[in-house]
Amino acid sequence: MAVSAAVAGASGYAGGEVLRLLLTHPEVRIGALTGNSNAGQRLGALQPHLYPLAERVLQPTAPEVLAGHDVVFLALPHGQSAAVAAELGDEVLVVDCGADFRLRDAGEWERFYGSPHAGTWPYGLPELPGGREALRGARRIAVPGCYPTAVSLGLFPAYAAGLAEPEAVIVAASGTSGAGKAAKPHLLGSEVMGSMSPYGVGGGHRHTPEMVQNLSAAAGEPVTVSFTPTLAPMPRGILATCSAKAKAGVTAQEVRAAYGKAFQGEPFARLLPEGQWPATGAVTGSNTALVQVALDESAGRIVAVCAIDNLAKGTAGGAVQSMNIALGLPEELGLSTTGVAP
């Protein structure tokens, strides 16, 4: 195997999922695993599902530990990636699962994150127009946020084809793993089971400007986004319901054709047959995005729904897919299109 990979932040959900995928990657050898407060512990105690790595011990997230690998995955809290990446040579592929390098607009970054903008890296969503090309040969990759992955795949075809007005309304439900592994009372099983709740309502969620960026690029004009995330009683999965007013005269056939064309040949994004709607349960553990679209003629809106696994296609799968492209490997390596269901 030619490629050595380190994972910084191996004890969290994103890092764990990167490892789960790399274990099946025929061209990758898993190198150093690092953690912060968990350094020194066996991975088996922290990620008991990663049985083949159970006896690995976490090291501190330090430059000398990460050095010497071909690829370094960063699954760190926001704001920490720039410093770590700066210590790694330009020839090392750094794949950042965090937010630091996703946005092009420094003002938007500062407005939503309240800190100076670290920069912009090639964006790891190859299904977007021009997305694949931007990743070839890259040595720095910003993995998209989980919500923007689902939302962009759900709506970019309508915008790229000029079918939708530039005001998108999105409500998305996410499994709790999207909120991470840090113990907070509102994320306790007792609180989330049997309950749905919104958060970040009214435009405050940090993934909003990333959606604006992607949809505006597809549309060729500024698109506003009303985004409401909700927490659903399930560990994994995002279901994004996305709609926009159809431009005058747009027909259902045009909408369907645009989506069919947008996903043609894509290994990991699929327009479902008419009459079948996506369920997040069908993509658990898989890198597939399932999309369906309808034209609501009474309301005059294009309504698209996209289901992904937030940790797979929404984070770690997108990261591995982008790595494959950057390194010139077959894009499907280490990734599954088969979900674990029921």
Name which of 137 and 195 has its Cβ closer to its own copies. 195
Contact pick of 89, 265, 273, 328 for its own copies (by CB under 8 A):
273
Distance CA 306, CA 294 (A): 12
Q: Which residue, among 311, 304, 285, 286, has the nearest Cα to 244 in the 3D structure?
A: 304
Q: Work out whether 67 is an interface residue with its own copies (CB under 8 A).
A: no
Task: Considering only residues 16 through 55, tell me which ones interact with its own copies, judged by CB under 8 A.
Answer: 16, 20, 23-24, 42, 44-45, 47-52
CB 230 within 8 A of CB 198: yes
# binding residues, its own copies (CB under 8 A): 93
> In this structure, is the dihedral angle defined by the CA atoms of residues 163, 166, 169 and 173, taken in order, positive or negative?
positive
Contact pick of 67, 82, 187, 257 for its own copies (by CB under 8 A):
187
- Please name the residue ranges forming H helices in 193-243: 208-219
Catalytic residues: 146
Contact pick of 95, 282, 323, 333 for its own copies (by CB under 8 A):
282
Burial class for 284, CB neighbours closer than 10 Å (0-12, 13-18, 19+): buried
In this structure, what token pair is assigned to residue 152?
A: 């962009």
Contact pick of 57, 201, 221, 260 for its own copies (by CB under 8 A):
201
Contact pick of 3, 43, 88, 295 for its own copies (by CB under 8 A):
295
Strands 301-308, 238-246: pairing kind: antiparallel
Burial class for 235, CB neighbours closer than 10 Å (0-12, 13-18, 19+): middle
Q: Considering the complex, what minimum distance in angstroms separates the CB of residue 172 from its own copies?
A: 9
Distance CA 234, CA 281 (A): 10
Task: Considering only residues 229 through 248, tell me which ones interact with its own copies, judged by CB under 8 A.
Answer: 230, 232-237, 239, 241, 243, 245
Q: Work out whether 193 is an interface residue with its own copies (CB under 8 A).
A: yes
Q: What is the largest CA-CA distance in the chain?
A: 63
Contact pick of 7, 97, 192, 215 for its own copies (by CB under 8 A):
192
Q: Considering the complex, what minimum distance in angstroms separates the CB of residue 1 from its own copies?
A: 16
Task: State which amino acid sits at residue 157.
Answer: P
Name which of 130 and 199 has its Cβ closer to its own copies. 199
> In this structure, is the dihedral angle defined by the CA atoms of residues 11, 13, 15 and 19, taken in order, positive or negative?
positive
Q: Work out whether 75 is an interface residue with its own copies (CB under 8 A).
A: no
Contact pick of 225, 258, 271, 327 for its own copies (by CB under 8 A):
225
Name which of 89 and 185 has its Cβ closer to its own copies. 185
SS3 165: strand
Name which of 71 and 282 has its Cβ closer to its own copies. 282
Q: Considering the complex, what minimum distance in angstroms separates the CB of residue 333 from its own copies?
A: 13
Q: Considering the complex, what minimum distance in angstroms separates the CB of residue 64 from its own copies?
A: 29
Task: Considering only residues 107 through 166, tell me which ones interact with its own copies, judged by CB under 8 A.
Answer: none
In this structure, what token pair is assigned to residue 334?
A: 């280490």
Q: Which stretch binds its own copies (CB under 8 A): 135-143, 156-164, 173-181, 319-327?
A: 173-181
Q: Considering the complex, what minimum distance in angstroms separates the CB of residue 323 from its own copies?
A: 19
Strands 269-271, 289-296: pairing kind: parallel
Render 20-40 in DSSP notation, one character per residue: HHHTT-TTEEEEEEEESTTTT
